[in-house]
Amino acid sequence: MDLIGVLHLDELSHGLANLSMFPYFEMAHYIVSVMALREQPGALEVSRVSPLACWFSSMLFCFGGAVLSGIMLAEPPVAPLSNSTSVLMASIIWYLVFYCPMDLVYCCAALLPLRLVLSGMKEVTRTWKVLGGVTQAHSKYKDGLLVMIAIGWARGAGGGLISNFEQLVRGVWKPETNELLKMSYPTKITLIGAVLFALQQTHYLPLQKHHLMLVYTVFLVVNKSRMMLTGSSASPFATIESALYKTLFTGYSPYAALTGEVKKACIDNGATNGTASATKESGEKRSTGQQSPAKGQSSSLEAKEESENAATTSCKKTN
Amino acid sequence: MDLIGVLHLDELSHGLANLSMFPYFEMAHYIVSVMALREQPGALEVSRVSPLACWFSSMLFCFGGAVLSGIMLAEPPVAPLSNSTSVLMASIIWYLVFYCPMDLVYCCAALLPLRLVLSGMKEVTRTWKVLGGVTQAHSKYKDGLLVMIAIGWARGAGGGLISNFEQLVRGVWKPETNELLKMSYPTKITLIGAVLFALQQTHYLPLQKHHLMLVYTVFLVVNKSRMMLTGSSASPFATIESALYKTLFTGYSPYAALTGEVKKACIDNGATNGTASATKESGEKRSTGQQSPAKGQSSSLEAKEESENAATTSCKKTN
Amino acid sequence: MDLIGVLHLDELSHGLANLSMFPYFEMAHYIVSVMALREQPGALEVSRVSPLACWFSSMLFCFGGAVLSGIMLAEPPVAPLSNSTSVLMASIIWYLVFYCPMDLVYCCAALLPLRLVLSGMKEVTRTWKVLGGVTQAHSKYKDGLLVMIAIGWARGAGGGLISNFEQLVRGVWKPETNELLKMSYPTKITLIGAVLFALQQTHYLPLQKHHLMLVYTVFLVVNKSRMMLTGSSASPFATIESALYKTLFTGYSPYAALTGEVKKACIDNGATNGTASATKESGEKRSTGQQSPAKGQSSSLEAKEESENAATTSCKKTN
């Protein structure tokens, strides 16, 4: 708290907390979201074949979080449609990004400096969305820490979490990959934000809300800018994640070796054992033509991340 | 209004508006819906393997609109099941259409004159369903024009809109096609109806409700009969649609040419660009064995339309 | 009633009805559910690649019924998460079953005597869940016998009914099979239970609730134990089902023959007929590489059943 006082950050955090997302930040969110859709493989083709499916997909990119959290709390998933101004704004942006003569809007917005600003502004809306989800869940489930995390996460990263069904609208179906199997950076950072805000809301985290908002927003914006400028998709948590994973989910090395031996024994003794079939299955799957989830997802998700990073460098030479 | 007065249509429209859908029109809706299911490829096989899956599919064909609009408004999707009379009626019709000895019921109902009458009556129920959906949404969202359109559409064309999931019940999965990617005629006409009724409800359309009901119903019935008699699946809006599409979604021809050139420039400059990959992707997709959504859907939807039209000519020589 | 009186079963049934499921029976349910997940092909691989997807899958196995019945009644599907104690307990069990050093927990629980007890206890919770679902539906829809059956069934067999979507979390997609197309034994027995409890609730079945609970629970436990001990997956209702199926869904043999002839006539007369295409389709499907639902499902479901039965014999020699 003292550090914040010394740096005169208290006023700044109050100012940020009172910032209105409407209209500029929301608009940036819609532009970046619709551009992300446009950069999905096959999206441009769909936009020519069926503008309606393309529009619906765009709305899921823009309002996916509200739709998903609505379903999870048994509130009408059509509710976002009732906010005419937002939908109209998102629809105009969708139209301009996909169908603007000479493709001016997309090519301009894809210029690195402009895209950097828009992406930064979009990240700011994430804080508001996560906080909104946590607060909404808190008003329904007083002590439901897990519910608050789930709703905050869904609200902030909804577009990613429902991507399987968003793709289905466009006639694409990739069951072997989803955001739970291999989380992308935005999904991860949103989950961390949801945990932090839920802990703050239940007073487990001794921080004031506007301070947490400031810290989280600054982290989001700085990190997103760094990733866009360096073109790296390396998560800043890679080391922590890896350590956590090794500690919790593989056991210490001596145990791991032992586990392996026990498992081998299990396999030798029980031929029809589920453990055995699971271990050997990668080979079988390949022979039946079905892609292993672990492999399939990584390649397709990498492609998605690449396209996101690549997009920052595209179109700039044409202007 | 004057024209309506002159033609003594006011009384007629009042009479129509007071018409009860229960039981005859509803029954016609169930018969035509269950027959449409039976004519889906693979449905007869499923009816032998698992009567329960077949029954559940039939209920989705009959009550799909109510289920979908229920989910969208966060009302219990099981609600249609609580109307025992309707469910019993639909179940008896399902049983007779699929399992009647000597297949008498299906073969009779498939006779062209009878099917013409039943299809006409089913179209009448569409007006009521769309209006019901719009009214229900209006009672929840006073100014939500888009919500009213969405719910009216969902209620009137629910079976089609959830067809991916209805097929999943029968073990069929066709992700490359859905009603948003390529709308069938019933889905299109229901959307237009939902727009009209929503505009009427919000007083943007200066028409009385019962007049609109009459006009819309007559259009539905006349057009359906025309399509069944001529065996044509040509939409009456094809010209308008095409003009609208050309105006809005491709740009004027000089611009279109320019857009193409700009796009080509984009592609040349940014090799990893999303635009480029999307444009070239049809070739790649074919080589990986995945069907292009644009191609795959059209063939399967045409098959569906053909089967609907063909059905009117089948079975009649056996009686 | 007299028989129950003579055997002093009245007290026993009252005692059973007052039994608390928390914590021991619930814990047994979680253990058996998580072990069933672990024995799914590919689950162990997923548990290494993405612990989060594995945890989410486990929660769907443990709380699938509550989630599904929540969605069906438009109540928040996240509600189970708000019960922190249950979620914590299920999460600890998930962790121990998947990641315990030396795989001790799984190997112990998979020992036949222990697994027999745990499975028996899990079956007891089924009675409570079905009854809970029926009661909940009864409080919303007084006369909705079908709704009560549906919700009771969903609550008791939810994990199975949503298995397609649970698999999707793990990157597996098997559209050609679902519990409606080929019901497994637990789904079947839960449906029967839901029908019985719904009939009892609406007083069509002249039995007292606690007596029905006793009878149903004993049947569940005895039958499950018999199946585990003999390793047979034969349903005790096979004969009744087969008789019912032959009576209702194929017609008597003379009719069946006639139906066949009529159908043949239909096919000959209408070449584009839906009936014809449905009958011939198995051949076409095979050539396009898509598996026939009827064939595909049986093989994959048999594999699942086998793994369930096989699991009782695995790991026991390693201890």
Cβ distance B313 to C275 less than 8 Å, yes or no, reads no
pLDDT < 50: residue spans in chain A = 1, 252-319
Query: At residue B263, does pLDDT exceed 70?
Result: no
Contacts of C4 (CB under 8 A, 6+ apart): C10, C13, C211
- Which residues in chain B have their CB less than 8 angstroms from residue A173's CB? 173, 175-176
- Specify the pLDDT at position C39: 95
Domain ranges of chain C: 14-236+305-318, 241-288
State how far the Cα of B213 lies from the Cα of B226, in Å rounded to an integer: 20
Identify whether the C-beta of residue B117 lies closer than 8 Å to the C-beta of residue C277: no
| Composition of chain B by helix, strand, coil, percent to 5 | 75, 0, 25
- Which residues in chain B have their CB less than 8 angstroms from residue A59's CB? none
Give the chain C residue nearest B39 (alpha carbons).
C274
- Subunits touching A (CB < 8 Å, at least 3 pairs)? B, C
- Specify the pLDDT at position B7: 67
- Which residues in chain C have their CB less than 8 angstroms from residue A175's CB? 168, 171-173
Give me the interface pTM, i.e. the ipTM.
Answer: 0.80
Cβ distance C273 to B84 less than 8 Å, yes or no, reads no
Give the chain C residue nearest A154 (alpha carbons).
C78
For the CA atoms of chain C, what is the radius of gyration?
A: 22
Nearest to A123 by CA among A4, A216, A261, A246: A216
State how far the Cα of B153 lies from the Cα of B134, in Å rounded to an integer: 8
- Subunits touching C (CB < 8 Å, at least 3 pairs)? A, B
Task: Kindly report, residue by residue over B97-139, the tens digit of the pLDDT.
Answer: 999 988 999 999 999 999 999 999 999 999 999 999 999 999 9
Q: CB atoms < 10 A from the CB of C299, how many?
A: 11
Tokens of B41: 């490829």
Give the chain A residue nearest B264 (alpha carbons).
A318
Contacts of B280 (CB under 8 A, 6+ apart): none
State how far the Cα of C278 lies from the Cα of C282, in Å rounded to an integer: 8
Cβ distance A274 to C49 less than 8 Å, yes or no, reads no
Give the chain A residue nearest B289 (alpha carbons).
A289
Please, what is the angle between helix A84-99 and helix A24-38, to 10°?
40
Contacts of A305 (CB under 8 A, 6+ apart): A184, A185, A233
Give the chain B residue nearest A167 (alpha carbons).
B175
- Subunits touching B (CB < 8 Å, at least 3 pairs)? A, C
Cβ distance C49 to A178 less than 8 Å, yes or no, reads no
Q: CB atoms < 10 A from the CB of A273, how many?
A: 22
pLDDT along chain C (319 residues), means of 10: 64 90 95 96 93 96 96 95 95 95 92 96 96 96 93 95 95 94 93 97 93 96 94 83 88 42 41 37 38 40 40 39
- Specify the pLDDT at position C237: 85
Contacts of B126 (CB under 8 A, 6+ apart): B156, B186, B189, B190, B193, B220
Query: At residue B291, does pLDDT exceed 50?
Result: no
State how far the Cα of A208 lies from the Cα of A255, in Å rounded to an integer: 43
Cβ distance B266 to A171 less than 8 Å, yes or no, reads no
Q: CB atoms < 10 A from the CB of A85, how many?
A: 10
Identify whether the C-beta of residue C311 lies closer than 8 Å to the C-beta of residue C118: no
Identify whether the C-beta of residue C65 lies closer than 8 Å to the C-beta of residue C157: yes
State how far the Cα of C52 lies from the Cα of C61, in Å rounded to an integer: 14
Tokens of B230: 């001529």
State how far the Cα of A64 lies from the Cα of A80, in Å rounded to an integer: 9
Give the chain A residue nearest B280 (alpha carbons).
A42
Place of tokens 């449409």: B36
Please tell me the distance in Å from C152's CA to the nearest CA on chain B: 12
- Which residues in chain B have their CB less than 8 angstroms from residue C182's CB? 49-50
Cβ distance C103 to A262 less than 8 Å, yes or no, reads yes
State how far the Cα of B194 lies from the Cα of C135, in Å rounded to an integer: 38
State how far the Cα of C58 lies from the Cα of C64, in Å rounded to an integer: 9
Q: Residue C129 phi/psi, 5° resolution? A: -70, -45
Tokens of A72: 């999870």
Cβ distance A52 to B183 less than 8 Å, yes or no, reads yes
State how far the Cα of B33 lies from the Cα of B123, in Å rounded to an integer: 11
Find which of C69, C178, C181 to mutate to test the B interface (most B CBs within 10 Å of its CB).
C181
Cβ distance B317 to C293 less than 8 Å, yes or no, reads no
Please tell me the distance in Å from B269's CA to the nearest CA on chain A: 6
State how far the Cα of A29 lies from the Cα of A118, in Å rounded to an integer: 7
Q: Residue A81 phi/psi, 5° resolution? A: -65, -20
